[in-house]
Structures are given as C-alpha cells and as structure tokens.
Structure 1
Amino acid sequence: MNKLDNIIYISVPEHIELDVGGFTLDRDRLLPVESTSGADRYNIEDLSWEQIVAAMLKILAYAPHHDDADYYREFITTISPDLITDLTQTAILKTRNGDLEVAEEIFLALCGLQPHDIPASVNLALLYEQVADRAAEIDDDASQEAIEKVLEIYHRVFAADDVPAEAHLNAGYFYARHGEPERALEHLRAYCDEGDDDEKIEEARRLIDEIESQNLSDTQFKEAYDFIRMGREADGIERIREFLASHPTVWNGWFVLGWGLRRMERYADARDAFNTALEHGPRRTDTLNELAICSMELGELDTARDLLIEALRQEPENTKIISNLGIVSLRQERTTDAEGFFRAVLEIDPSDPIATSYLAELNGQ
C-alpha cells in the first residue's frame, strides 16, 4: 500500500480566512488532508489546521519533490515555528523507546521539511542503523536494505558544504562497524580535526589506532566481511583465514571468522573462533552474544546464560541480549524467567517480533 493512498485534496473553503498565522493561502492550490473515506465523503466540518499540517508532513516524508512541496514547507514553518524542534524531540524519544516505524516517518518528514538540513539526515541515518541491527538476525534482506539507506544518506550528506563535525563521527563509527575501515579512518580523522568534544575526540583516536594497528584496512579483511554480509559465508571464511594467517592476533579477524561459521551453523568451530577473539581482544557485547548463541546451540546453557548476563551488564537495554536470555531460560525450562525476559524486551521495544512470538507461544495463542 502506498503511504499516501489516504491523502485527499480539497479546495480552500470559502469561509476560511486566507491569512493564517502570517501565511497567505493560495486559493488556486488544493489543501491535503488524510482521510479513509475519500474526497467525496469527507466532511468539511471536520477540517482542522492540525489535519492539514499532518497531511503536508506525510507528503514531505514520502514525496519530498511534490509540486507543492515548497508551499507546504513555507506554510508549516510560518504557522508552526516550533514544530521542527518538537518533532525532532518526539522522533528521538520514539527511537529510544524502540518505536522505530513511527520515528522513521517523523525523521523522513523532518528531512522533507528541511531538505538541506544535515542533522536531520544524520538522525535518519542513525535510525536506519538501528533498523539494520534489529533485522540482522531475522531478515538479512531487510538489514541490508537499511544499510543501503544509511550509505545513500551519508553519500548525500558529504556531498554538501559545511558538514558538521558530528556527522563525520557518526559516519566513522558506521563505516568501522560495517567493514569499511578506509572510509572510517577518513571520517574519524576529520572529526579529530574539526570536533570540539575532547572525550569524543579521544574515543575517535582510540578507534583510529585500533584500525591502523590491527590492519583492518587489509583487502582480505574487507572482502571477508563483505562476503559474509552478502550471504557468501564460505567465500568469506576462506578470505578471513587468509587474513588470519598473516595477522593471527587480530581479534576482529577471529570475530569475523566466528560470525561466518555461526551463520553456517558450525557452532563448535564458531565457538572456538569467538573464544580466540576474546583471548586477543576486549570482552565486547557483540562477541559475548555470539559466543552465547554458539554455547546455547551446543547445549552449554549455563555458559550461555553467564555470557549473556555479562553482556547485559554492559548494555542493560540491549533487546537482542535480553531475548537470548529468554530463549536460554526456555531451554532450561525456566518458563517464568523466560516470560519475564520477553516482557522486558517489549517494554523497551513493543514491536519486537521475537519476544512477541515467544510470548504468544508461552500463552498458548
């Protein structure tokens, strides 16, 4: 279904004053309204400026090049000068609460309302990163689609002039996480040159040192990551083994090997790779979670639980970790604990499909 299917267009009613909050309406332009009843059955008595603004925002979200887009932008910003701030705060809150679908529409509307505003685009990119992370374990296609959206946004952002330093920092982290170390270095260095937050600069420099010292810009490492991300696990494993032959102490390499093996359901081999990653590197949440999944599939439920609890201490609201604790609890026949974990997930993210499915199963639905 097209997101704009319920938008209808009406003439400016004769009884309405053309001056609205300092904006002069054009009677030759139709006003958009969202309605499920169709234009013929719409009751003009129900019309409100809030409805019109909401419809304009929806059009700007999904059709930012609409013929009347500039007219809508001028109308909204004139009669509601504080709306951009209010919408931004609402979208950020929705994102934190895990309501990503609503947050996405608000951020899209903000981008349509301010097509040249870089912070609005960066906020949308950060949202799509969360979408990609959420989908990674259940729908590779959806995860990849979200990643492509992030790449498209950053391509557009960095083609502009006067890019804020914060955009470089966010992009640097994104590229580092997604197997693009050269791009990550470019943006992290830019942030170190242009940023003014000493703590963030120090963190960026630490990541730069990590990338440089561990040879993460090596072609074999990049190819291995890309192959596994695209579902070509066997090719990725071959490449990362070649990389590890030359760089046997690089923990990220062992992590990528474990990731590929786990996706191929070679859990014992993946467990060994993740353990080696922990020997050479930090006990990060992602590594602990991946190792816990392998332990769980190998029947080592107490070990899996301990690893997940350790990961949860680092990221108390990580729904992936909490869901996996629920699954471990189920396999340990600790049904009450499992239900508690899945409910905790839904408190953070009411639309989480894994927790919803397991709770429905537990409740016999």
Structure 2
Amino acid sequence: MAFLGVLLCFLLAPIAGGQEADAGPDPFDEALAKIQRNELSAAVADLERLRAEGDRRAAAALGAVYVRLDRHADALEVLEPLIEEHDDPGVLYNAGRAAVGVGDFDRGLDMLRRSAELAPGSPAVRELGVLLGRGGDYVGAFPYLRRWSTLHPEDEEARLLAAVAAVQLERAPDAEAMLSDLAQDDPGVQLLWGQTLLLKGEPYAALGYLEPLVADAPEAMQADVRRASARAHMMAGESNKAIDVLEGHAEGNPQLTLQLAQAHYQNGDVQQALGLLQPFAERIAATPDRSSGGSLAGSIVLEHGRLLLTDDRPDEALPYLRMATEIIPREKLAWQSLGQALAASGDNDGARQAIARFQQLADDEGRQAPNQVDVERNDPTAKQLRLAFEKLTAGEDEEALRILEQESVLNPEDARIPLLASRVLLSLQRPGEALRAVELSLELRPTTDGLYQRGAVLMSLQRLDEAEESLRAALESNPEHSPTLNDLAVLLMNQNRRDEARTLLARALEIWPEDPVAKQNLDRLDG
C-alpha cells in the first residue's frame, strides 16, 4: 500500500506554479478527489475542461489519468507540450509509460531515465527495473530494482524482481539481501533461495527448498523448479534422483533435455543420453547461424559430441565438437574433447593445437588462488575484476573495459572497478579518461594503489609535479609499495635527481632482492 501512495503522487503530479487559491473550492482539487475515489470518467471531464481553460496542473494530472485508462496516445498528446516547457519528473514518468504503451520503447525508457535522474525516489526507478528485467536486460534492471527496494523495502514485488535479476547475474549475496525479509512460504521465494544456494555451491541446502516444490509448485514454475532441483542432485552426485525429477517433463525443452541427458550419462547410460540429444544437436547443425542459439546451443553440441566420442565414434563427434568451439570458444572442455577426437581420428597436428588451446584456458583458470572460487561466490565483483584483468594481460583491452563498465553499473560504489578501469584506459592511450577514473576510485575509497595509479597517469600526462606529489603520498601510505618506489625513481632519474632515485631503488631491492624492474632501473642509473 505504501508503494501505491508513492505512485499516486506521481500519477497526479501537478506542475508547480498552478492557479492561486480563491475563496471557493478549487475545481482542480475536486478533480483530484474524484481520482482518489476512482471516479475516473468524471475526473477526466473536469480535467479536460480545466486544461482547456489553461490550467497546466490539470494537463499534467489528465495525462496521468489517461495512462491509468490505457489511453496512451492521448496521454502523450497532453504531456509532450509540458515536457517541452519544463522537465518535471512526474510528467516524464507518465509520458514514459505512455510512450512504452504505444510501442515506442526506447523513447519511453529515455523519459523514465530522465525522471529517475531528476528524482531518485521517482517510481520511474521501479518502472525502469521492471521493464528492463522483462526484456532480459538484467544488468540494466538490477541497479534500478535494488535502488527502489532500498528506498521502499515494503515493496515485496520489487524486491522479488530484484532477487530474480541478482540470481540471473549470479550475484548470490545480493539475492540473499533481497530475499531475507520476504514471505518465506512463497513458492517464488523458495525457488529463488534454492537457486541462490546453488550459486553458493550448497546443493543439499538448496534441495531443502526445492524438493517440496517439485510436487507443489504452480505449473508456471515447474520447469524452473525441476531444472534447479536436477542441478542440485547432479552437484550432489545423485544422477538417479535427477532423472526422476526430469523424466516425463523434458520433452520439447532443450535445457531440461540437456540436463536429463547429462544425468543418464552420469548414470552410465550413454545410448539413452545420445537418443535424447540427437534431435536437438542435428537441428543446431542445420542452422546457418549456429551462434544464435547462444551458450545453450553450444552446450548441447558439446555434450552430444562428447557422448559420440565416449561411444567410440570420433569421426561423427568431430563436427559437433568443432561447432562447440565456435559457439563457446572459451569452454576448455570443448577444446579438450576436440583434441581427443582429432587424435582418435589420426589428426595428430590438429589434436596438438586443440590441446594447446585447452591448456591455455586451463592455465588461465588455474591462476586463481586456491580459495578464489569461495571468495568470488561471496564477492561477485571480484570475479569480474579477475576476468577484466585477464583480458588486460592478454592484450584485449577493449573487452576488459567492457567488463568493467558493465560491473560499474551493477556496483557503482566499488572503488576497485574505476581503479582497474584507469589501468585499462591508460593502456588504451586514453590518459584523460584514466585520470577521471582513478580520481573516482580515490573519492570512493582512498588507497595506496589508487594514489600510485594517479601518479602513473599524471606522469603519462607530463604533469610531473603533481605526479611526484601523488607518488610520495602513496609511499606515505605504504613505504614498501614497490611499484611506487620504481615509478618515483624513474621520475627522479628523468629530472637528473640521481641520488634520490638511487635511494628509492635500493629500498625496492631490500624489499624484493630479485625485483627485475628495480634492477633494470639501477642499471640505467649506473650506465
């Protein structure tokens, strides 16, 4: 009910500066009273008359009522002139909904975003989250839904939608925060808890929520419930139970069929698994644009190829495994299986190349610390930072920046994101943007790394006095920060301040005697 009260304020949002009060009842107030009593036809008649008399407040309210009555084209006709005169968040909110109502989705989103910028508490924030989420844009939807849910924790529907987006984005901590105070006996909440616990790697805890739902969940939820329940059983090594959950419910559903095939394979029945996947795999193979099926299509042809390889049919497996490496090129299992099939078919050179690619992907994955998986389950941003850093070190700067830009939308208060973005932007030779990024990072949370990065960016901009100041501030924060010692030494060397530079390099080598950068700089100094 609290949300309805907030919404009503924006539905009626009159533009400030309306008519002056007089001795008698204000006709506009009487029209608003009719709206609150849901006497909409009478209110429309009053508001249309007042609008014709030049009452701008009546025009704003009339547009809002037209939206409620699904008269979206009429609403736009009334509200657009008001927007041209003045950007009012309430008017923009109603006009945005009207634009979406007539099918102009992009324009509607633009108006809603303007409303949300002008009034962070505007119901436009909620509307944006709902619209983007329904369109599958969970990256765009989640920040709005989270913001609205923080402002209005009583809005359980919005919190539920925010939890759905968090699960889709594999952000278990955010999903837990949204679910914690909702009605725990609600089937939708129970499903989301099960999915969240799967993200955390806790299949048995997830089954505590999911198993009762298999029999009792509403029909519209059955596919999602069975998918999550089967995944939990598979994670727990209970393939026979996964088969029981999926058998008779997977027909025509490629995702459930894939899971059922995997369960049969895990249970030792290769032929049954092959029979299930073959129609889907052949359909994907016959599709001109195979990548259009996304990762699900890649997973199906990969699993089918692996099953054929297991059945000692490597020549038949090869086309499917090659498809898998094209659709999901960073899936190491696809390259490993392709290498095995090529070797079994006698193509040793091709096998070596495929296995080399598999090893490269495995090495990238192996760079994670032993506890990194657990860390990333509880800190989704850490995973995105790792992926972006891997792209940066591989020379894929633009992809690294894309990852960071997406994560900054989801987690705008995390200082680590603009800090790494600054490094990427500097690598892209965009030092002005790199400086703005590191300044944002320091504003969010001052760190030694941030001070060092600002110094490095300022050096690239030849603002050497400011660079030295920032680097010395970094050393005050951490006197043993090796990158700062080395960069400040280089700055001093270039200014012919050799004794100060030597002192810094000597300190760097005391900290790490094998420091190659310090050794190289010292050789330059002595050369």
Higher helix share: 2
Q: Normalising to structure 1: TM-score of the pair?
A: 0.40
Q: Indicate the structure whose relative CO is greater, using CA pairs within 8 Å and at least 6 residues apart.
A: 1
TM-score (norm 2): 0.29
